Amino acid sequence: MNYNTLKKEAKVVIVGGGFGGLYTAKGLKNSPLQVTLIDKRNFNLFQPLLYQVATGSLSPADITSPLRSILCQNKNTQVLLNAVIDIKPNDKQIIVDNHQSIPYDVLILATGVTHHYFGNDQWETFAPGLSNIEDALEIRNRVFMAFEAAEKENNPIKRQAWLTFVIVGGGPTGVELAGAIAEIANNSMKGNFRNFDPKDAKILLIEGLERVLPPYPIELSSKAEQELCNLGVTIHTKSIVTNISEDTIVVRKGEKHEQITSHTILWAAGVKASSISKILAERTGVSLDRAGRVIVEPDLSITNFPDIFVIGDLSNFSHQDNKALPGVAPVAIQQAKYVAKLIRKRLKGESLPSFIYKDYGSMAIIGQNKAVADFKFIKLSGFLAWFIWISAHIYYLIEFDNKLVVLVQWIWNYFTQGRGARLITENNKKDK
Amino acid sequence: MNYNTLKKEAKVVIVGGGFGGLYTAKGLKNSPLQVTLIDKRNFNLFQPLLYQVATGSLSPADITSPLRSILCQNKNTQVLLNAVIDIKPNDKQIIVDNHQSIPYDVLILATGVTHHYFGNDQWETFAPGLSNIEDALEIRNRVFMAFEAAEKENNPIKRQAWLTFVIVGGGPTGVELAGAIAEIANNSMKGNFRNFDPKDAKILLIEGLERVLPPYPIELSSKAEQELCNLGVTIHTKSIVTNISEDTIVVRKGEKHEQITSHTILWAAGVKASSISKILAERTGVSLDRAGRVIVEPDLSITNFPDIFVIGDLSNFSHQDNKALPGVAPVAIQQAKYVAKLIRKRLKGESLPSFIYKDYGSMAIIGQNKAVADFKFIKLSGFLAWFIWISAHIYYLIEFDNKLVVLVQWIWNYFTQGRGARLITENNKKDK
User: How high is the ipTM of this complex?
Assistant: 0.86
Q: Tell me whether residues A193 and B68 touch, CB distance under 8 A.
A: yes
Confidence of residue A431 (pLDDT cuts 50, 70, 90): very low
- pLDDT of the residue at B392: 85
Confidence of residue B1 (pLDDT cuts 50, 70, 90): very low
Closest-CA residue of A relative to B196 is A78
Q: Tell me whether residues B423 and A73 touch, CB distance under 8 A.
A: no
Q: Tell me whether residues B69 and A418 touch, CB distance under 8 A.
A: yes
pLDDT tens-place string over residues A286-340: 999 999 999 999 999 999 999 999 999 999 999 998 899 999 999 999 999 999 9
Instruction: Enumerate the residues of chain A whose CB falls inside 8 A of the CB of residue B192.
Output: 68-69, 72
Instruction: Enumerate the residues of chain B whose CB falls inside 8 A of the CB of residue A274.
Output: 432
Asked if A260 contacts A164 with a C-beta cutoff of 8 angstroms, the reply is: yes
Confidence of residue A407 (pLDDT cuts 50, 70, 90): confident
Instruction: Enumerate the residues of chain A whose CB falls inside 8 A of the CB of residue B189.
Output: 68
Pick from B72, B131, B191: CB nearest A72: B191
- pLDDT of the residue at B41: 94
CA distance B62 to chain A (A): 8
Of B134, B153, B176, B399, which is the active-site residue?
B176
CA distance A199 to chain B (A): 16
Instruction: Enumerate the residues of chain B whose CB falls inside 8 A of the CB of residue A60.
Output: 59, 421, 423, 425
Pick from A66, A83, A135: CB nearest B429: A135
CA distance B347 to chain A (A): 24
Q: What is the mean pLDDT of residues B307-323?
A: 95
Q: Tell me whether residues A80 and B152 touch, CB distance under 8 A.
A: yes
- pLDDT of the residue at A402: 63
Other CB atoms within 10 Å distance of the CB of residue A418: 19
Instruction: Enumerate the residues of chain A whose CB falls inside 8 A of the CB of residue B64.
Output: 423
Share of chain B above pLDDT 90, in %: 77
Closest-CA residue of B relative to A428 is B134
CA distance A13 to chain B (A): 15
- pLDDT of the residue at B84: 97
Q: What is the mean pLDDT of residues A173-182?
A: 96
Q: Tell me whether residues B66 and A412 touch, CB distance under 8 A.
A: no
- pLDDT of the residue at B427: 52
Pick from A60, A131, A422: CB nearest B59: A60
pLDDT tens-place string over residues B343-385: 999 999 999 999 999 998 888 889 888 999 998 889 999 889 9
Closest-CA residue of A relative to B68 is A192
Instruction: Enumerate the residues of chain A whose CB falls inside 8 A of the CB of residue B193.
Output: 68
- pLDDT of the residue at A2: 43
Length of chain A (residues): 432
CA-based end-to-end distance of chain A: 64
- pLDDT of the residue at A410: 76
- pLDDT of the residue at B2: 43
Q: 3-state class of B351 per DSSP?
A: coil
Closest-CA residue of B relative to A34 is B194
B contact test, residue of A84, A155, A405, A409 with most B CBs within 10 A = A405
Q: DSSP secondary structure string, A151-215?
A: HH--SHHHHHHHTEEEEE--SHHHHHHHHHHHHIIIIITTT--SSS-GGG-EEEEE-SSSSSSTT
Q: 3-state class of A53 per DSSP?
A: helix
Q: Tell me whether residues A151 and B81 touch, CB distance under 8 A.
A: yes
In eight-state DSSP terms, residue A58 is S
Length of chain B (residues): 432
- For B415, counting Cβ atoms within 10 Å of its Cβ (0-12 exposed, 13-18 middle, 19+ buried), the class is exposed
pLDDT tens-place string over residues A139-171: 999 999 999 999 999 999 999 999 999 999 999
Kindly state the helix (H) or strand (E) to which residue A368 belongs, with its residue range.
none
Question: Strands B301-302 and B305-310, how do they pair?
Answer: antiparallel
CA distance B321 to chain A (A): 31
Residue B304: closest CA among B6, B88, B2, B90: B2
Q: Is the pLDDT of residue B342 over 80?
A: yes
Q: Is the pLDDT of residue A432 over 70?
A: no
pLDDT averaged over every residue in chain B: 92
Confidence of residue B429 (pLDDT cuts 50, 70, 90): very low
Q: Tell me whether residues B420 and A405 touch, CB distance under 8 A.
A: yes
Q: Tell me whether residues B424 and A98 touch, CB distance under 8 A.
A: no
Q: Tell me whether residues A42 and B148 touch, CB distance under 8 A.
A: yes
- pLDDT of the residue at A424: 84
Q: Tell me whether residues B98 and A421 touch, CB distance under 8 A.
A: no
- pLDDT of the residue at B402: 63
Asked if B43 contacts A59 with a C-beta cutoff of 8 angstroms, the reply is: no
Kindly state the helix (H) or strand (E) to which residue B288 belongs, with its residue range.
none
- pLDDT of the residue at A429: 38
Higher pLDDT, B283 or A377: B283
pLDDT tens-place string over residues A178-231: 999 999 999 999 999 999 999 999 999 999 999 999 989 999 999 999 999 999
Instruction: Enumerate the residues of chain B whose CB falls inside 8 A of the CB of residue A43.
Output: 422-424
Instruction: Enumerate the residues of chain A whose CB falls inside 8 A of the CB of residue B431.
Output: 40, 83
Of A138, A176, A225, A297, which is the active-site residue?
A176
Pick from B40, B79, B148: CB nearest A428: B40
- pLDDT of the residue at A4: 66
Instruction: Enumerate the residues of chain B whose CB falls inside 8 A of the CB of residue A134.
Output: 425, 427-429
**Is residue A176 among the annotated active site residues?**
yes
CB pairs under 8 A between A and B: 159
Q: Tell me whether residues B192 and A69 touch, CB distance under 8 A.
A: yes
Pick from A60, A68, A148: CB nearest B42: A148
Q: Tell me whether residues A194 and B78 touch, CB distance under 8 A.
A: yes
Q: Is the pLDDT of residue B428 over 70?
A: no
CA distance B423 to chain A (A): 6
Q: What is d(CA B68, CA A178) in angstroms, rounded to the nearest whole number?
A: 22
Q: Tell me whether residues A408 and B408 touch, CB distance under 8 A.
A: yes
Residue B176: closest CA among B91, B53, B94: B53
Q: What is the mean pLDDT of residues B281-285?
A: 98
Q: Which of A54-58, A103-107, B239-243 has the lowest mean pLDDT?
A: A54-58
Q: Which of A61-65, B39-43, B289-293 has the lowest mean pLDDT?
A: A61-65
Q: What is the CA radius of gyration of chain A?
A: 23
pLDDT tens-place string over residues B96-142: 998 999 999 999 999 999 999 999 999 999 999 999 999 999 999 99
Q: Tell me whether residues B432 and A274 touch, CB distance under 8 A.
A: yes
Q: What is d(CA B301, CA B318) in angstroms, rounded to the nearest whole number?
A: 13
Pick from B43, B405, B424: CB nearest A42: B424
Asked if A289 contacts A275 with a C-beta cutoff of 8 angstroms, the reply is: no
Cβ-Cβ contacts under 8 Å for A320 (sequence gap 6 or more): A356, A357
Instruction: Enumerate the residues of chain B whose CB falls inside 8 A of the CB of residue A432.
Output: 114, 131-132, 274-275
Q: Which residue(s) pair with A363 in the sheet?
A: A373
Q: Tell me whether residues B405 and A409 touch, CB distance under 8 A.
A: yes
What chain B holds in terms of domains, given with CATH numbers, is 11-115+272-347 (3.50.50.60), 123-269 (3.50.50.100)
> Using N-to-C axis directions, what is the helix angle for B172-183 and B218-231, rounded to 10°?
20
Q: What is d(CA A30, CA A246) in angstroms, rounded to the nearest whole number?
A: 54
